[in-house]
Structure 1
Amino acid sequence: MTAHKQLFEKKSNKIAVITGASRTQGIGAAICRALAQDGVDIFFTYWSKYDQSMPWGIDLDEPRLLQGELRHRGVRCECLEVDLSAPDAYLTVLDEVNRKLGDPSILVNNACFSTNDGYSVLDSTSLDNHYAINVRATTMLSVEFARRFSKGSGGRIINLTSGQAKGPMPGEIAYAATKGAVEALTLTLSAEVAPIGITVNAVNPGPTDTGWMSEEIKQYLLKKSPFGRIGLPEDAARLVAFLASEEAAWITGQVIHSEGGYMRS
């Protein structure tokens, strides 16, 4: 039996929305692949302008390459370039998912905004930029997803966070504050939407090599890794795929630290 036929035969009839999958090397792309491997149809968002402004950069054809790869795996895949900092972007995303694929049962809030901004340089503009993506977009996508959900069971919301509750993150005040809000959202929303059949969890992937690490950073992290290696996007993706599955139906309101025992002290 060919791999393509196997994928077709295990088609799940589920639709997942994954935000922030611009880069083929990123966590968002790895999550798309992991869910597609389980036969889930994929709708991902990307915003190339942000990645172009970051040190790691992006090839402008990466989202289309990812879309083609996922379709080749035997699932339907659509994507949308959208600035999630726009106040009504969450409506645009979910309307487009419904129009192109149908009603989603899985939402993965992976997109984030992150810049270095210790107390000596932080200003209100930077804080607002972090808030718009990390808090407002995540919250509004989540609540609108829940409002539209009507299947009665099997709904999944999975947020990506950064372990800021496990220790300080010097030089990242706005990022730590807004990702901390995501953890608070995860717990409270999980209680609200449980009666309609949705679980809500968060994943902290820890330091993950998505192409941004210098050799100096890698060597520093290796010293703090009990397993002697650095986290890969696939590590986080496997956990997200599990939380999206039927096997995780009894897990909700949790922040799971999938970081290989990373030692902060």
Structure 2
Amino acid sequence: MKSALVTGGSRGIGRAICRKLAVELGYHVLINYQGNEVAARETLALIEAEGGTGDMLKFDVGDGKAVLDVLTAWTEQHPDAVVEVIVNNAGIARDGLFMWMTPEDWSSVLHTSLQGFYNVTNFFMQKLLRKRYGRIINIVSVSGVKGTAGQVNYSAAKAGVVGATKALAQEVAKRNITVNAVAPGFIRTEMTKDMDEQELVKMIPLNRFGEAEEVADVVCFLASKKAAYITGEVININGGIYS
């Protein structure tokens, strides 16, 4: 059973990625979520309605023990399963000016994005190396590439994942494992619903927010055999706001 794990897979970009990996590439999708079980169940129902299959896995990516326990249990229950695609999508934002940023706002954002990348990817690394095939795709952000005022923590966390992407890509390329990052700009999701879209589109050459499905299309391509010669890359998908 060829499987793909998507962290933060219950809503928004994560949900769109889960659906496309299941329907277009035929993966059994592991939908990771932390708190919103209703949303995760909706994602699974959407996948099943389109003829795909999946499981829901509840854990906080930043909690190393929880990641280890849940993924070990699932692996033992599915000895024939091979997780060959890992999409590190889980992330949180705690925006505010750096001068007023609390230690908790700083550490929680880094913990979810950066420590979460380590916890999840490291669990599968030896298995991918033994199998000599894998696709690791990290969802970063325009903030991690160019930096965004009011998001020093988020920019630092995503920039850290960009650096990890480029370094890990070099370590594992000989085993036919690719590691890439996708850096969305303003995408219409719950995370951006409170933003002033009318004002912000003035900064975007394409004059609109992106859709979650458009990000998922890029991820789906990178997870496919078509992207076999692409690794260590950061693909910006932002309507031209930064390139």
TM-score (norm 1): 0.83
Q: 1:133 aligns with which of 108, 112, 119?
A: 112
Matched, 1:105 2:105: no
Q: Which runs of 5+ in 1 are unaligned?
A: 1-12, 49-57
Q: Hey, what does 1:27 align to over in structure 2?
A: 13
Structure 1 distance, partners of 2:242, 2:205, is 8
1:78 aligns to what?
55
Question: Could you tell me which residue of structure 2 aligns to residue 209 of structure 1?
Answer: 188
Q: Residues 68 and 170 (structure 1 numbering): CA distance in 2 closer, same or farther, change over 3 Å?
A: same
Partner residue, 2:237 = 258
2:32 counterpart of 1:45: yes
- Take 1:136 and 1:201, find their aligned partners in 2: how far apart are those partners? 17
Q: Is 1:15 the counterpart of 2:7 in the alignment? A: no
CA distance, structure 2, for counterparts of residue 100 and residue 257 of structure 1: 37
Give 1:91-240 correspondences, 5 Å limit: 91-101=68-78, 102-149=81-128, 150-153=130-133, 155-213=134-192, 217-240=196-219
Identity within the alignment, % = 33
**How many residues of Structure 1 are paired with residues of Structure 2 in the alignment?**
239
Q: Secondary structure at the match of 2:5?
A: strand
Bigger mean CA deviation after superposition, 175-184 or 208-217: 208-217
Letter in 1 for 2:13: I
- CA deviation digits over 1:208-258, x for unaligned, max 9? 111344576211222122223211100100000000000001000011101
What does the per-residue CA deviation read over 1:151-201, in whole Å, with 9 as the maximum and x for residues that have no partner?
223x00000111235433111111111111000000000111112221000
Distance 2:123 2:41 in 1: 27
User: Residues 127-162 of structure 1: CA distance to partner in whole angstroms, max 9, x if unpaired?
Assistant: 221222111111221122111223223x00000111
Mapped partners of 1:76, 1:216: distance in 2: 34
Q: Distance in 1 between matches of 2:115 and 2:191?
A: 26
Is residue 224–residue 263 contact of structure 1 (8 Å, CA) maintained in 2? no
Stretches of structure 2 that go unaligned for 5 or more consecutive residues are none
Letter in 2 for 1:29: R
SS of the counterpart of 2:220? helix
More strand by share: 2
Distance 1:171 1:216 in 2: 14
Distance change (3 Å), C-alpha of 1:71 and 1:120: same
Report the CA distance shift for 1:199/1:214 in structure 2 as closer, same or farther (over 3 A): closer
Give distance in 2, aligned partners of 1:213 and 1:125: 22
Determine the structure 2 residue equivalent to 1:5. none
Cα gap change, 1:147 to 1:74, in 2 (>3 Å): same
Counterpart position of 1:88: 65
The 1:253/1:93 distance shift into structure 2, 3 A limit, reads farther
CA contact (8 A) 2:67 2:119 kept: yes
Answer with 209-218 or 228-237: which moved more: 209-218
Q: How high is the TM-score relative to the length of structure 2?
A: 0.90
Root mean square deviation, CA, Å: 2.0
**Residues 165/22 of structure 1: CA separation in 2 closer, same or farther (3 Å cut):** closer
Distance 1:81 1:204, change over 3 A: same
Specify whether residues 235 and 40 from structure 1 end up closer, same or farther in structure 2 by C-alpha distance, changes over 3 A only: same
Structure 1 residues 100, 118: closer, same or farther in 2, change over 3 A?
farther
Whether the 8 Å CA contact 1:190–1:252 is kept in 2: the answer is: yes
Structure-1 separation of matches of 2:194 and 2:158? 26
